[in-house]
Structure 1
Amino acid sequence: MTIKKMLRGASPRVLVLGALGVLTLGVAALSVYASYTLLVPRFGGWAVPTVAALDTLWLVLQATEIIAGNNLARTRWVRGAGLALTVVIAAVPTAELALTGPGGTDLAVILTPVAIVATKFGWALVLPALGRRVSPTTRQAIDIRRQEVANRLEEMEAEAADRVELLTVARRLERRVGRAETAYRRSTLSVQKASTERLYGQAQETADTIAERPLPASVAAIALPSLDGWTPTAPALPVTPVMQVNGPDHDGRDDSQEARLLVMVQAHAALSGVTAPRPGTPLDDGELRLVLRALRSIEDPPQSYRVSAGVFRRAGFVASEHRIRPLWRELTAEAGDATEDSEEDADEPHREHRSG
């Protein structure tokens, strides 16, 4: 019961030293037995104190080395002396084996030198690792610190393993996602290609139709019904305004030319994506060009400059003569029907001279 209590309260260091101590005592007993067997027949009673002194000194050196712990300065001479004494003690059975051979020798003689040398080297290996003897409080603090280090190292190992697993899974998933994204983009580009080809052909046809058959502004002015404010009523019919024209410049043409000019101006503005010019306000160059184009399109073929200028004025548009006439000539030249206006411009000085 006492031995169990001692073993239960002993530290690991004490247990290791106790095991080595028991082993050393056994080896010392074996050495004494082998030395007595070999030396007493030859030296008589002198062999007994000699063998006892050598083995006792060997045990003392081992104990001193244990007490010194890992203090190298203190254990250097003790360890050297212990090694020398180990060689001396092991030399007796070794010499016997060398002289007589293993044939008629006791087994203890054969094992003794091996056991002595192995025991000494066992102490040399174990003692530096045991360290100094410390108090229970210090040992507990050291154990706690070592446990913290062990816990942290284990956490680092687990974190590293988790990160390796994460990177492995992420790499595999990124490959799958990359392949899926590539397939999706290729599908999208294929759809865009087919749509662009179909839309391009339709856009060309639509552009040709718009250029050949422009819609008047009244079509775009039709309001579409909404769900909240729609009531089932018939759409209002458009009414063409009749303009009263009086004065010496009226040449007997249809009075609806001014109204048709206003409608065509709205249509050209809608096709160009700009705001329609308003009568009564001075026109800039872009607005003047748009109005003159609309003016040329109300009749086929276009009217002469004199008649068109009258319609321009009666419709209420404002621009000076020196701006209208050059632009009218430019549009006439672009259309390729400049002969009529050239002849009319040539007769203009004569008309002015006769009127004067």
Structure 2
Amino acid sequence: MEQIKNGAGRVTARGLVLTVLGVVTLAVAILSVAVSYDILKPRFGAWAIPTVGALDALWVVFQATEILARNHKQRARRVLIAGLVLTAVNAAIPTADLVLAANSGGAQLDLAVVLTPVAIVATKTAWWIALPSLGRAISSDTRQAIATRRQHVADRLEVMEADAAHRVELLEVAAELDARVAKAEAHYRETVLKAQQSTTKALHGQAATTEKTLTDKPLPASVAAIPLPDLENWTPAAPALPGTERAATGTPAITGGTHAPQVSDPDAAPGTDGGTHGGTSVTLDRLAAVAGVPVPQPGDPLTDAQMGVVLRHLRYADDPPLSYRQARDAYRRAGYVGSEQRVRIAWGALVVQEDGGETHEAEEAEDVTA
């Protein structure tokens, strides 16, 4: 019979099972020997001892041989059949005695005689059930490899079960969240509809009031003609400068400057002091800062906004303000760069912004006359 311990001295599960079954088989064989000897002694005499000993010894040997031959089914088949025959013979002896005792009438049945055939058959049945499940005897390395593989499979199955549980939990939470979101969306849409209803009612009443007001008090065309600012092209309008006096046209007179001459003499060159005719000096730097453009420099290409700042500064550098031709000549003398057409367009935009273009139209007519 296979030992409990393997070559490394470790107790194996297979060896433990076989040992337990072997002990049970040996105990049943001893019980069978005792019972069968008592039954056969009156008939066989001294021959009863070797007879029952041989039957039970062969029964145990065939069972052990079946264990050893389990790897070879054809060999195991012989000892399996022989073991079954001996099982039937060993169980038949006490069974026959029980039958004879029952037929004789009045004989008391021995409990050992009753249990012996049951124990023999049950033991053989236990071997028949347990032995195929034990498999073959293997080395410790192979057993370790199989255990590792089984552990890997067990780990994988546990991970699969955990993933499935997570998936179920995710779906349950997702279903709950979907229900909450759907409820929130319905509430939001209901709120929007109520707000639209309230807004529509308020607008309807306001529209009726506005229509009545427009009918009773129509707006003049000048209101609609006021231009609105554009986000991309908006520049701050030049505010009224402090300490200046307005001429008849309502335009402030500005004197002085940093990068341009104080023009009192039309023939004064840039950088010379031509005198001041009163009023607070407003420099070109301040005008450029108000317009939000870099300070124009003589000799550098100027943008339209910078050209307008220079012309505005030159126009009000003297009192009364310079005309277009005077401002243009001062512009050239100061060394600023710009074509005649650009200067004229910038000047026109300046005077249109200040007095509606009346001065520019008068100067245009004067140029044509000249």
Check whether the contact 2:33–2:53 (CA below 8 A) recurs between aligned residues.
yes
Counterpart in the other structure of 2:262: none
Pairing 1:215–2:215 present: no
Distance 1:110 1:211, change over 3 A: same
SS of residue matched to 1:132: coil
User: Tell me, which stretches of 5 or more residues in structure 1 are unaligned?
Assistant: 234-238, 240-356
- The equivalent position to 1:196 in structure 2, one of 188, 196, 200, is 200
Distance 1:230 1:197, change over 3 A: farther
Distance 1:26 1:4, change over 3 A: closer
Task: Give the whole-Å Cα distance in 2 for the aligned partners of 1:116 and 1:133.
Answer: 26
After TM superposition, list the pairs within 5 Å mapping 1:150-161 onto structure 2. Answer: 150-161=154-165
User: Tell me, which stretches of 5 or more residues in structure 2 are unaligned?
Assistant: 242-248, 250-370
Counterpart in the other structure of 1:54: 55
Distance 1:94 1:5, change over 3 A: closer
- Structure-1-length-normalised TM-score: 0.58
Deviation of 1:4 after TM superposition, in Å, equals 11
- The equivalent position to 1:133 in structure 2, one of 134, 137, 141, is 137
Count how many residue pairs are aligned between Structure 1 and Structure 2. 232
Counterpart in the other structure of 2:180: 176
Task: Give the whole-Å Cα distance in 2 for the aligned partners of 1:76 and 1:99.
Answer: 34
Cα deviation, 1:285-319, whole Å, max 9, x if unaligned, reads: xxxxxxxxxxxxxxxxxxxxxxxxxxxxxxxxxxx
Distance 1:96 1:231, change over 3 A: farther
Cα deviation, 1:96-146, whole Å, max 9, x if unaligned, reads: 122214962332212111111111111111111111111111111111101
SS of residue matched to 1:9: coil
Pairing 1:96–2:67 present: no
Cα deviation, 1:158-179, whole Å, max 9, x if unaligned, reads: 1112222222222223222322
Distance 1:204 1:172, change over 3 A: same
RMSD, aligned CA:
3.2
Deviation of 1:204 after TM superposition, in Å, equals 4.6
Check whether the contact 2:5–2:12 (CA below 8 A) recurs between aligned residues.
no
Task: Give the whole-Å Cα distance in 2 for the aligned partners of 1:205 and 1:172.
Answer: 49
SS of residue matched to 1:105: coil
Distance 1:60 1:230, change over 3 A: farther
One-letter identity of the residue aligned with 2:199: S
After TM superposition, list the pairs within 5 Å mapping 1:1-356 onto structure 2. Answer: 9-69=10-70, 71-101=72-102, 104-207=108-211, 209-210=213-214, 213-222=217-226
Q: What is the aligned-residue identity percentage?
A: 56
Name whichever structure is richer in helix by fraction: 1
Task: Give the whole-Å Cα distance in 2 for the aligned partners of 1:181 and 1:8.
Answer: 71
Cα deviation, 1:26-71, whole Å, max 9, x if unaligned, reads: 1111111110011111221222222122112211221122112364
Check whether the contact 1:69–1:130 (CA below 8 A) recurs between aligned residues.
no
- Structure-2-length-normalised TM-score: 0.56
Check whether the contact 1:61–1:82 (CA below 8 A) recurs between aligned residues.
yes
